[in-house]
């Protein structure tokens, strides 16, 4: 015994369809806004976003070059250049996803269902990559600072050698990756406090 169920969506008036669509859009926009804020896709001031993204891209490309060109230059801890390559590659992917999602959001294209799906999917992927990046940062910190007292920069053929520029860059990179999020959170909180006072 089979039964056919059918619905005639054309029988709804445009007013009813518009109301349903607006309610759906409001519900998804609230969730979408929260997700974009967590992933860093929500931009309130475009020039600052462009400057920050540009600086992040420069730092990421320098890190990628430092790691990839010095793969065999740190026998005491060969994972340091690998750490730099992986962290910079992840960051590059996040920059690309974030930039595309910001462009879609700023142009209000994300109100279209496909763009909305892309922006929210990107936000979820960015959150997963941020989590992996943080875990990878901890591994990189252990690999880098564990050899701090044993590393030497002059005798290339020794097992405790690491190229000076590579090792020092890894230290600076790691320290910045710990400091910058706190500075950005502090700046964001300070600006919101200033807005509440005025």
- pTM of this structure: 0.75
Q: Where are the alpha helices (DSSP H) in 77-112?
A: 79-106
pLDDT average, residue stretch 112-125: 80
Which residues span the domain enclosing 56? Answer: 35-197
Does residue 13 lie in a domain region? no
Does residue 73 lie in a domain region? yes
Q: Which residues, other chains included, contact 62 with Cβ-Cβ below 8 Å and sequence gap of 6+? A: 169
Does residue 192 lie in a domain region? yes
- Percent of the chain with pLDDT strictly greater than 90: 47
- Structural contact between residues 140 and 174, judged by C-beta atoms closer than 8 angstroms: yes
Report the distance separating Cα 116 and Cα 131, nearest Å: 23
Does residue 22 lie in a domain region? no
Does residue 9 lie in a domain region? no
Report the distance separating Cα 31 and Cα 24, nearest Å: 11
Confidence at residue 177, expressed as pLDDT on a 0 to 100 scale: 93
Does residue 162 lie in a domain region? yes
């Amino acid at each position: 015994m089979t039964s056919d169920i059918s619905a005639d969506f054309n029988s709804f008036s445009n007013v009813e369809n518009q109301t349903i669509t607006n309610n759906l859009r409001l519900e998804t926009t609230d969730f979408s806004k929260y997700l974009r804020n967590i992933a860093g896709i929500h931009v309130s001031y475009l020039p600052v976003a462009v400057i920050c993204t540009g600086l992040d891209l420069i730092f990421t490309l320098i890190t990628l070059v430092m790691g990839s060109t010095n793969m065999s230059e740190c026998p005491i801890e060969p994972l340091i250049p690998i750490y730099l390559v992986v962290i910079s590659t992840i960051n590059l992917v996040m920059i690309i996803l974030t930039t595309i999602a910001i462009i879609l959001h700023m142009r209000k294209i994300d109100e279209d269902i496909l763009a909305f799906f892309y922006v929210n999917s990107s936000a979820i992927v960015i959150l997963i990559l941020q989590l992996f990046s943080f875990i990878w940062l901890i591994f990189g910190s252990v690999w880098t600072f564990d050899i701090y007292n044993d590393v030497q920069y002059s005798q290339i053929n020794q097992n405790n050698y690491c190229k000076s520029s590579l090792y020092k860059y890894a230290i600076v990179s790691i320290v910045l990756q710990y400091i910058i999020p706190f500075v950005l959170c502090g700046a964001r909180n300070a600006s919101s406090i200033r807005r509440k006072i005025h």
